[in-house]
Amino acid sequence: MKFWLPEACSSALDIAWLFLTRVAGRETLAVFVSGLMVRMQSCDIYFSIKERGEWFAVDYDLVVLGGGPGGYKAALKAAQNGLKTALVEKAGLGGTCLNRGCVPTKLFLGATSVLAGLESQKKLKLATGQAVFDLQRLQARKDSIINASQNLMRVSLEKTGVQLFNGRGRLRGGKTVRVEDRELSFTNLILATGSESGALPGLKPDHEYILTSTDALCLTAVPRSMIVIGAGAVGLEIGQIFHRLGTRITMIEALDRVAPMEDREVSVELFRYLKRQGMDIRTGVRVKALSIDNALVRVCLEGREDLEAEKCLLALGRLPDTDSLNLEAEGVQTYGPGWIKADSFLGAADNIYAIGDVNGRSLYAHSAEHQGEYVLEHILGRDESPYDPGPVPSCIYGSLEVIRTGLGSQELTSAGETFSVSSASLAPNTIIQSHGLIQGFIKVFWVRDRVAGITGVGHGLSGLITLAQIATRERWTRKEAGRYIFAHPTLDESLREALLGPQIKNEPGS
């Protein structure tokens, strides 16, 4: 709501301002301004007062920098528990996850899954024809979903009493944060500013031909060709989206396999499937330089022939978004490219905490939320124990999905553990067969007859990740797994088969 004061009221405001600044003193003025800020921030009175003199810091029990999943949930929970809370967000509520990461990619993968499903049924000679996709309308739907989600978040913040500030926060020392021309003083501070797309020397985006993941998710026309540099989760997911839409995809990975963070057998199975779908995948290949010639991106490879495409996607991991925070003002230390050092309680300095991507521990939205909830419990004095996330769930989405939680063969071998592996093929599963995608398996890792980790690759496996995490965190035995009834027909049955299957022992060094 906006309203304007008549001239007489403006004069009255002058008198009030004179009284507050010359007679009542700084403390009363700060309280007065604080009340106006909370209740009348959209009014011209607020702006009139703000322009007349120094802006005074407003005290908060908690200030949260970053309105992504971790920061948003932490701010909500703080206000629900009676803390005077401010949330600072430089762009859109929801952070990378909602605006340019998890949500848009899953929306695009879900929408285009009809194209992949049709191709699977055509190969079984059960269907004919083609589906034509409208990328512009999909982009409009994406924007609509994001806007609606942000509006719901904003309403929730208002209802719980969280004060939202739009702008980039910067530490000033003395337990104070500056947001544009405002100052917020805090008792506790949570740093949750997330991460941004990574780059390498000589491999920089121009955002027209050489794209970040954000750029790729905003395209309104389907390119005829695209080179994807990086075959991790981001490259694999966006590569599959555009492959389904008809783009000729060439994927380049410097390491020796796609999904290099996953179990080797999982990577091999995923590689075979994507190759059969017609994607050109080149592993163990390094990119030297990028250039643009006649509206085409030229990719110069080490020891290989150059490649060209209409677009090039840089899927080179993530970097912390901490450069502009002035962390040294509060004694917050960083490592590597700017990850914040956090102790076993996620503390970065006195009453200052780092959650989510910025601490470099686990770059997942669900990890950020979990860490934020823990920090709030710690601030409230209800959890004095060190932070323990347990086995963190991980998924890669697409026609074949990858799941992982707990320890795998590489971690167990490096630790010198003796472990066993049981597994189950997905091919006999009725649900898998109905989709015409019989590739894949689930593997369970056992240490001293208890579940230490679970991984797998196959159609729809992301739906099993929470149960896999529970089995891993609770360290199920084979007997405990056998106590539960798994519904038929479901994908869950394949997880049961893997849990109850014969175990093959793996000795250290074998």
For position 296, which CATH number holds? 3.50.50.60
Identify whether residues 357 and 463 lie together within a single domain: no
- Which pLDDT score, from 0 to 100, does residue 38 have? 42
Mean residue pLDDT of the chain comes to: 90
pTM over cut 0.75: yes
Q: Is residue 27 part of a domain?
A: yes
Identify whether residues 356 and 263 lie together within a single domain: no
* Residue at a domain's end among 389, 407, 435: 389
Nearest to 494 by CA among 453, 446, 460: 460
Identify whether residues 165 and 67 lie together within a single domain: yes
Q: Is residue 134 part of a domain?
A: no
Q: Is residue 8 part of a domain?
A: yes
39-43, 73-77, 363-367, 409-413: which range is least confident on average? 39-43
With 60 as the cut, is the pLDDT of residue 405 above it? yes
pLDDT bin (cut points 50, 70, 90) of residue 9 is: very low
Identify whether residues 151 and 168 lie together within a single domain: yes
Identify whether residues 452 and 361 lie together within a single domain: no
With 70 as the cut, is the pLDDT of residue 409 above it? yes
24-33, 45-54, 203-212, 302-311: which range is least confident on average? 45-54
Identify whether residues 181 and 242 lie together within a single domain: no
Render pLDDT for 442-480 as a digit per residue (tens, 0 to 9).
Answer: 999 999 999 999 999 999 999 999 999 999 999 999 999
- The phi and psi torsions of 142 (rounded to 5 degrees) equal -55, -50
Identify whether residues 186 and 70 lie together within a single domain: yes
With 60 as the cut, is the pLDDT of residue 360 above it? yes
With 90 as the cut, is the pLDDT of residue 225 above it? yes
The CA–CA distances, whole Å, from 277 to 83, 272, 481, 500 equal 53, 9, 36, 33
With 50 as the cut, is the pLDDT of residue 324 above it? yes
Identify whether residues 274 and 233 lie together within a single domain: yes
With 70 as the cut, is the pLDDT of residue 173 above it? yes
- Which pLDDT score, from 0 to 100, does residue 162 have? 97
Q: Within 13 Å of residue 362, how many CA atoms lie on the same side as its CB?
A: 21
With 80 as the cut, is the pLDDT of residue 161 above it? yes
With 80 as the cut, is the pLDDT of residue 194 above it? yes
- Which pLDDT score, from 0 to 100, does residue 120 have? 93
Average pLDDT over residues 217-241: 97
Q: Is residue 205 part of a domain?
A: no
Q: Is residue 122 part of a domain?
A: no
d(CA 499, CA 292) in angstroms, rounded, equals 52
Residues 6+ apart with CB under 8 A from 201: none
Render pLDDT for 259-296 as a digit per residue (tens, 0 to 9).
Answer: 999 999 999 999 999 999 999 999 999 999 999 999 99
Cβ–Cβ under 8 Å, residues 475 and 406: no
With 90 as the cut, is the pLDDT of residue 486 above it? yes
Identify whether residues 304 and 360 lie together within a single domain: no
Identify whether residues 292 and 413 lie together within a single domain: no
- Which pLDDT score, from 0 to 100, does residue 506 have? 83
* Residue at a domain's end among 389, 418, 436: 389
- Which pLDDT score, from 0 to 100, does residue 200 have? 83
Max CA separation in the chain (angstroms): 88
Identify whether residues 292 and 376 lie together within a single domain: no
Average pLDDT over residues 29-35: 45
Q: Is residue 474 part of a domain?
A: yes
Active site includes 459?
Answer: no
Identify whether residues 340 and 444 lie together within a single domain: no
- Which pLDDT score, from 0 to 100, does residue 369 have? 97
With 70 as the cut, is the pLDDT of residue 3 above it? no
- Which pLDDT score, from 0 to 100, does residue 163 have? 97
With 70 as the cut, is the pLDDT of residue 5 above it? no
d(CA 250, CA 256) in angstroms, rounded, equals 16
Supply the range of the domain harboring residue 384.
Answer: 57-98+144-196+318-389
- Which pLDDT score, from 0 to 100, does residue 509 have? 56
Place of tokens 């703000």: 50
23-27, 104-108, 493-497: which range is least confident on average? 23-27
Nearest to 217 by CA among 310, 142, 117, 131: 142
Average pLDDT over residues 232-250: 98
d(CA 437, CA 440) in angstroms, rounded, equals 8
Token pair for residue 248? 């000729």
pLDDT bin (cut points 50, 70, 90) of residue 55 is: very low
* Residue at a domain's end among 389, 421, 442: 389
Residues 6+ apart with CB under 8 A from 318: 195, 196, 197, 198, 357, 363
- Which pLDDT score, from 0 to 100, does residue 65 have? 98
N-to-C CA span, the chain = 71
CATH of the domain at 404: 3.30.390.30
d(CA 301, CA 288) in angstroms, rounded, equals 5
Q: Is residue 439 part of a domain?
A: yes
Amino acid at 202: G
Q: Is residue 201 part of a domain?
A: no
Give the whole-number percent of the chain exceeding pLDDT 90: 85
Give the whole-number percent of the chain exceeding pLDDT 70: 88
- Which pLDDT score, from 0 to 100, does residue 48 have? 38
Q: How many domains does the chain have?
A: 4
Amino acid at 108: F
